[in-house]
Amino acid sequence: MAALDAAASIEALRQMFERPEIRQRILALQDTKLGFRTDRPPGTKNKKTNEPVPPYPWPTVRDCALEAVLRGVQLVGNQFNIISYSCYITQEGFDFKIKKEPEISEFKHTLGIPSSKQGGVIIVCEAEWFKGGKAKTRRDEIPVKSDDYSGADQLLGKAKRKFLKRCYEQMSGKSLPDGEAGDETTIEVQATPTVEVKIGKAAKTQTAITDATETKPEPKEPATPPKTATKILGEFLADWGVPFDDFRDWLKGSGRVTEDERDVLATVEDLPTLLAAELVADNCKAMGRCATIYGTKKP
């Protein structure tokens, strides 16, 4: 029943977001200080070709905004970002969720000075709050990757986001997706147990809540990454000699994208993740019709 309720909520929101007046307002918030950010702001260029990178198409923006709403954050105040076609809850988003968490009050946190380690830095983060008449505290050593171009504010921002996420998960008992791709680190850090302080008595008790210790993985042969749906589609179009403009027209003609959505597709990588997955889910049988019409060679 919970799954059916979630599906109904998704469908209701999707229909609402497709209303022209709602769609226009959501797109107006994209890449603004008062709305939400993406990794494709105006002026972004492809590092290899130096060509302008188009903004995310509407289906991607819609689905990420829908996920953000269902995860309990707002579409304003930079509470979520769109990173690599995915919804990413920011530190502002977790701060908002903590403030709305029932029975939580007087939440305070502090961030320490970054301490350099091999591969990055360690930042000690501490927090305290009240829940149900009990004072809670948490202390974590947060590892953050860094390079020669990483500023102190950037490092502290990443550490704060990770720490607020852990605090929220402890408060709510809910688990949310972690940071953006590539944000993992191999810095060694020993986790510190959470401390619970009971009001009315001086005694302090250690809880059983601990964080997993992050250690350097053993060296191993790099695994060949699986092909993404867009990669498979790109190879299919190349094998059959289907011009990308014809492929875009086929998507429009088959009702898979609107005219506006077709116009913002510059490369196969711009396809919404769900649409790309749908086109390759049946071993590209649907794409066979496109190749029959527009293909100039046989694979």
**Could you tell me which residues come within 8 angstroms of residue 251 by beta carbon, excluding any fewer than 6 positions away?**
257, 262, 265, 275
Please state, in angstroms and rounded to a whole number, the distance separating the CA atoms of residues 289 and 219: 46
**Could you tell me which residues come within 8 angstroms of residue 86 by beta carbon, excluding any fewer than 6 positions away?**
64, 180, 273
Average pLDDT of the chain, as a whole number: 80
Residues 71 and 98 in one domain: no
* Phi/psi-derived region of residue 253, left when phi > 0, alpha when psi is between -120 and 50, beta in every other case: alpha
**Could you tell me which residues come within 8 angstroms of residue 164 by beta carbon, excluding any fewer than 6 positions away?**
91, 94, 95, 98, 109
Residues 275 and 190 in one domain: no
Task: Give the count of domains, the chain.
Answer: 3
- Position 123 in a domain: yes
Residue where a domain terminates, one of 46, 67, 89: 89
- Position 125 in a domain: yes
Tokens coding 95? 């701060």
Instruction: Give pTM, 2 decimals.
Output: 0.58
Please state, in angstroms and rounded to a whole number, the distance separating the CA atoms of residues 39 and 85: 9
Residues 2 and 50 in one domain: yes
Amino acid occupying residue 278: E
3-state secondary structure of 72: coil
Residues 211 and 150 in one domain: yes
Residues 116 and 160 in one domain: yes
Residue where a domain terminates, one of 194, 220, 246: 220
DSSP code of residue 268: G
Per-residue confidence (pLDDT) for residue 214, from 0 to 100:
42
pLDDT of residue 282 exceeding 50: yes
Query: 66 or 289: which carries more pLDDT confidence?
Result: 66
Residues 140 and 210 in one domain: yes
Residue where a domain terminates, one of 192, 220, 248: 220
- Position 152 in a domain: yes
Per-residue confidence (pLDDT) for residue 14, from 0 to 100:
86
Residues 19 and 78 in one domain: yes
Residues 98 and 209 in one domain: yes
- Position 299 in a domain: no
Amino acid occupying residue 239: D
- Position 212 in a domain: yes
pLDDT per position as a tens digit, 173-204: 888 776 543 443 333 334 344 444 443 433 33
Please state, in angstroms and rounded to a whole number, the distance separating the CA atoms of residues 245 and 290: 12
- Position 69 in a domain: yes
Residues 194 and 118 in one domain: yes
Residue 299 confidence class, pLDDT cut points 50, 70, 90: low
Residue 225 confidence class, pLDDT cut points 50, 70, 90: low
Residues 36 and 55 in one domain: yes
Please state, in angstroms and rounded to a whole number, the distance separating the CA atoms of residues 287 and 235: 12
Q: What's the number of CA atoms in the CB half-sphere (13 Å) around residue 193?
A: 9
Residues 12 and 117 in one domain: no
Residues 102 and 169 in one domain: yes
Domain span at residue 22 reads 1-89
Per-residue confidence (pLDDT) for residue 210, from 0 to 100:
37
Per-residue confidence (pLDDT) for residue 215, from 0 to 100:
43
| Radius of gyration, alpha carbons of the chain | 23
What are 204's strand-pairing partners? 197
- Percentage above 90 pLDDT, the chain: 37
- Position 118 in a domain: yes
pLDDT of residue 226 exceeding 50: yes
- Position 124 in a domain: yes
